[in-house]
Amino acid sequence: MERAVLTGTIDRYCAAWNEPDAGRRAEILAAVWSEGATYTDPTVHATGAAELLAHIGKVRAARPGARIERTGDIASHHGTALFFWRLVLADGSPAPEGLDIVELAADGRRITRILGYFGPLPRLPDRASA
């Protein structure tokens, strides 16, 4: 899986979350979301783009103007990827952080599954004191 392709796919996925226009959001997601791909986080299990778009719409409505920002590089092995992100509220203040584990089609252009966890994440003692 080519790194530039993988990065493009994940950043496009994040861009879908951040797009205010619902129609444009659906277009952005459609380019990277495989048919029947699942999205699971502590609050929802969504199958297919329509269910995920409905969830994103609800989350956006609850926190108008908030944005997801990927923090740091994307790690990847065996057709999977890991990235950390944070939610930045409309006033710029950071909100809970999270991580997504992504499973992708072999070419890295389509997501087949995302499993997300978000904050507060379990502490990393070494990291916190670094």
Interacting residues with a second copy (CB under 8 A): 40-42, 45, 71-75, 77-78, 80, 82-84, 86, 94, 97, 99, 101, 115, 117, 121-128, 130
Given the complex with a second copy, which of 40 and 112 has the nearer CB atom?
40
User: How are beta strands 33-41 and 44-47 bridged, if at all?
Assistant: antiparallel
Number of neighbouring beta carbons within 10 Å of residue 52: 23
Shortest approach of a second copy to residue 22 CB, angstroms?
A: 26
Given the complex with a second copy, which of 18 and 40 has the nearer CB atom?
40
Given the complex with a second copy, which of 24 and 58 has the nearer CB atom?
58
Tokens (6 digits) for 17: 């979350």
Element (H, E) at 113: strand 111-118
Given the complex with a second copy, which of 62 and 77 has the nearer CB atom?
77
* Amino acid identity for residue 83 in this structure: F
- Classify residue 78 by burial, with Cβ atoms within 10 Å: 0-12, 13-18, 19+: exposed
